[in-house]
């Protein structure tokens, strides 16, 4: 039986499914962040489950951005997407 490349398909599908779930949660959070003059962008999700987010607008350099990432974004993602292990900001 030939399996050339077939073992990669479920991993790609799973990664896509997780990315879609993360994007949906971020879209629910986004209006609150935008109401404070900021925004966020999903950059990447590592194989280890770390969601990499780029902050924009008023969030850049804001002293509360770390709290927003940890309490607001990370907590929501970990609650709704069990595959997420953490969140980190990227420049």
CA 72 from chain centre, in angstroms, equals: 12
Residue 27 lies in a domain: yes
Domain span holding position 60: 9-89
Please indicate, yes or no, if residue 2 is contained in any of the structural domains: no
pLDDT at 12 over 70: yes
Question: What confidence score (pLDDT) does residue 61 get?
Answer: 84
18-65 pLDDT, tens digit each:
999 999 999 999 998 899 899 999 999 999 999 999 999 988 888 888
Tally the domains of the chain: 1
Cβ proximity of 83 and 23 under 8 Å: no
Alpha helices in 1-91 (DSSP H): 8-35, 65-67, 75-80
Residue 3, domain member (yes or no): no
Domain membership flag for residue 1: no
20 within domain boundaries? yes
Instruction: Answer whether residue 31 is part of any domain.
Output: yes
The SS3 call for residue 89 is strand
């Amino acid at each position: 039986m030939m399996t050339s490349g077939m073992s990669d398909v479920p991993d790609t599908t799973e990664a896509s499914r997780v990315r879609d779930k993360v994007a949906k949660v971020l879209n629910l959070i986004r209006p609150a962040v935008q109401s404070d003059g900021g925004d966020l962008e999903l950059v990447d999700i590592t194989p280890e489950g770390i969601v990499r987010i780029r902050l924009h607008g008023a969030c850049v350099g804001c002293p509360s951005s770390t709290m927003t990432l940890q309490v607001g974004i990370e907590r929501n993602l970990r609650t709704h997407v069990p595959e997420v292990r953490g969140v980190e900001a990227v420049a």
